[in-house]
Structure 1
Amino acid sequence: MSGAGEGEAEDISTVDNYQRLQIAPNPDGTITRLAKFPESPPTSDPKLPTPVLSKDIPINESKNTWVRIYLPRHALDHSSSSKLPLVVFYHGGGFILFSAASTIFHDYCVGFATDVPVIIASVEYRLAPEHRLPAAYEDATEALHWIKTTPDDWLRDHADLSNTFLMGISAGGNIAYHAALHADVDRLHPLKIHGLILQQPFFSGTQRSGSELRLANNPAFPLSCSDLMWDLSLPIGASRDHEYCNPTVGDGCKKLDRMAVGWRVLVTGWDGDPLIDRQIEVAKMLEENGVHVVCHFAEGGYHGVDIIDASKAEALFVVVKNFIFSQSAS
């Protein structure tokens, strides 16, 4: 598995990282998730005083994948000619934690759908290590094909499938990136991807970046926790220079042609995130391969701050709104 990079800061012990993440390894390679993160049910009754309605719909029952759709209430008053952009959202959690129902992501999607406004399809994908990568990518692309064919009235009547964006935070940003690379866009019609929104996307590599060294023991997201998440998520025996983890190595660049044809990519990050140099590196790689990239790297934040600090989330919603609707107008 991935080893320590030369010259990196001393890591916290592996046992401490399991404790920090509140997981326990099992002999069969699975993990027990000790923390019970709060979850929120969907709210589909239009009589309830909520700005955003939500409901869950199965995608693949054999995989227990599903999607939570968020519909701004005011969309119900619009005619079908005033459809909203669709954002397909992938939650974070290092590929191993959380759910589309987790309160922290549910509340984030409610605020996002309200402020931007958009219709959101938040995907419940399979978690590692029980389902190592590329399982999450397969679920992400299967969700796109489900969306294009579903008879669901909220998506049919109120979502503009021809104006779709893939978005994710942290590991979800990684999933959005790889879903875009793996999706057969010619077979998604009438769903048309216009761009990606990569919010603090989760990438790494065996050679440590400057921010990884500088912020190795960052309390919000220590580098050793990141390494453990990759160890639990990558295919058995793969290093952090696998293309799933490090898109700048190998044949990763050869798959970017589809992004260069009319797509735009928004990459966001914070200076207190050990991953920021990785995010900047990926943005630069995309630009060098002809992709239209919009960067928003800010000071005073850390990994995951956007879903914890409401003021940071609201500021980001403004950035994303400008990105989505300038894209729509172009």
Structure 2
Amino acid sequence: MNTTTTTKEVLTDLSPVIKVYTDGTVERLLHSPDVPPSPEDTTTGVYSKDATISPTVSARIHLPKPTHPTQKLPVLVYYHGGGFCIGSAFSHLDHRLMTVLSAEAGALVISVEYRLTPEHPLPAAYEDSWDALKWISSHSVDTQTNSEKEKWISNHADFSRISIGGDSAGGNIAHNLALRAGSEPLPGNVKIAGAILSHPYFWGSNPIGNEPKEDIDQSLLYQLWLLAYPSAPGGIDNPLINPFCDGAPSLSGLGCSRLMVCVSEMDILTGRAKVYAEKVKESGWNGVVEVVEIEGEGHCFHIFGIENEKAKNLIKRWATFISQ
């Protein structure tokens, strides 16, 4: 009896992040396993549960134990990182980070599960993320039935203190949503108080800082963008990934009053993020920009080593920002 072994052919190899095969299957090489929500975390006292926002969008909600049934808390709407193609609000790493942050800030943290590329090319993740922000904001008005409302949000969200934020691709999403919020009203006329861009994933054809000066189209971060948004007008100089390319909307339109940009010394994305912060300051935007730079660390180091003293300090900075 003859047996035939079929080897799948790789279409796109972006190791160590992801591989895409010619048969359409996707192999995510970097993956933190999913974990269930916690009725109550014994270490932090933070409750968590999952919520369905739409057929394509969901979220994990983290609630520190309230002192009374309608205690109002600051809100962080968080977008996870992963180059738009990996990561999850339900992963062990993100669940752990959000639980610790919720406890530290005394904040209601809503971590959004958006659709990933390449199965769902951009702008799907941006639309999912905006839909989640609209859904959360809709709890500020009486337009929903009780069955449509998420009680943790209705009972505990202080909509005068709502921030958005994210790491890496999530920081990119937070930037683009802050711009959108500057021109498109949210339900209940909710205003974004602050935005945290942690190690934001911005890129472009003109190298900045430590970015490669040669064969830039072969770099992993360039290729990840092409995988995420193959039809992007302008390619790597689309305004969604390069916020100061020709034709990009003015940074003065950011729809928040405070901005925190977090970078690490050893991260290749740091140079562009620092230029971004300077350009926001120069744009005429009427807000406060804070840049937090961590020495001797790499990209999103705090997610992987949450017990690191520098990670603890960064989380405390986030917590102070959120709770203002």
**Would you say same fold, with TM above 0.5?**
yes
Give the match for residue 293 of structure 2: 297
User: What residue number does 1:127 align with?
Assistant: 116
Instruction: List per-residue Cα deviations over 1:179-203 (Å, max 9, x = no partner).
Output: 1222355333253210100011100
Deviation at 1:229, TM superposition (A): 1.2
Q: Is the 8 A contact 2:12 2:20 kept in 1?
A: no
Contact persistence 2:138–2:188 (CA under 8 A): no
Spell out, residue by residue over 1:149-174, the C-alpha distance to the aligned partner (whole angstroms, 9 max, x if none).
34211111111122100100000000
Indicate the larger mover: 138-147 or 308-317: 308-317
Deviates more, 1:138-147 or 1:283-292: 283-292
Q: Which residue of 1 is the match for residue 246 of structure 2? A: 250
Alignment correspondent of 1:180: 178
1:132 CA drift (Å)? 1.8
Given residue 209 of structure 1, which amino acid in structure 2 is its aligned partner? I
Separation in 2, partners of 1:121, 1:47:
16
Query: Once the 2 structures are TM-superposed, how far is the Cα of residue 69 of structure 1 from its aligned partner?
Result: 0.5
Cα–Cα, structure 1 residues 164 and 47, in superposed 2: closer, same or farther, change >3 Å? Answer: closer
| Deviation >4 Å, runs of 4+ | 14-17, 46-50
Matched, 1:94 2:94: no
1:4-83 equivalent positions in 2, closer than 5 A = 18-21=14-17, 23-27=18-22, 31-34=26-29, 37-44=32-39, 46=40, 51-61=45-55, 63=56, 65-73=57-65, 75=66, 77-78=67-68, 80=70, 82-83=71-72
Q: In structure 2, do the counterparts of structure 1 residues 35 and 199 end up closer, same or farther at CA, with 3 Å as the change threshold?
A: closer
Provide structure 1 residue ranges, at least 5 long, that are not aligned to the other structure. 1-13, 217-222
With over 3 angstroms needed to count, the CA separation of the structure-2 counterparts of 1:253 and 1:281, relative to structure 1, is: farther
Partner amino acid for 1:163?
R
Aligned to 2:152: 154
Equivalent residues in 2 for 1:251-266, closer than 5 Å? 251-254=247-250, 256-259=252-255, 263-266=257-260
Distance 1:282 1:49, change over 3 A: closer
Q: Does the 8 A contact of 1:185 with 1:192 survive in 2?
A: no
CA distance in 1, matches of 2:31, 2:265: 30
Is 1:139 matched with 2:128? yes
1:252-272 deviation per Cα after TM superposition (whole angstroms, max 9, x unaligned): 24363243xx61100000110
The alignment yields a C-alpha RMSD, in angstroms, of: 2.6
- Letter of the aligned partner of 1:257 in structure 2? G
Pair 299,245 (structure 1): closer, same or farther in 2 beyond 3 Å = same
Q: Percent identity?
A: 35
Alpha-carbon shift at residue 206 of structure 1 (Å): 0.9
Q: Does the CA contact (< 8 Å) of 1:283 and 1:293 recur in 2?
A: yes
Please give the TM-score of this superposition, normalised by the length of structure 2: 0.84
Distance 2:262 2:41 in 1: 37
Note the C-alpha offset of 1:79: 5.6
Q: What are the within-5 Å matches in structure 2 for residues 89-238 of structure 1?
A: 89-150=78-139, 151-183=149-181, 185-189=184-188, 191-213=190-212, 224-236=219-231, 238=234
TM-score by length of 1: 0.82
2:298 is matched by which residue type in structure 1? Y
SS of corresponding position for 2:237: coil
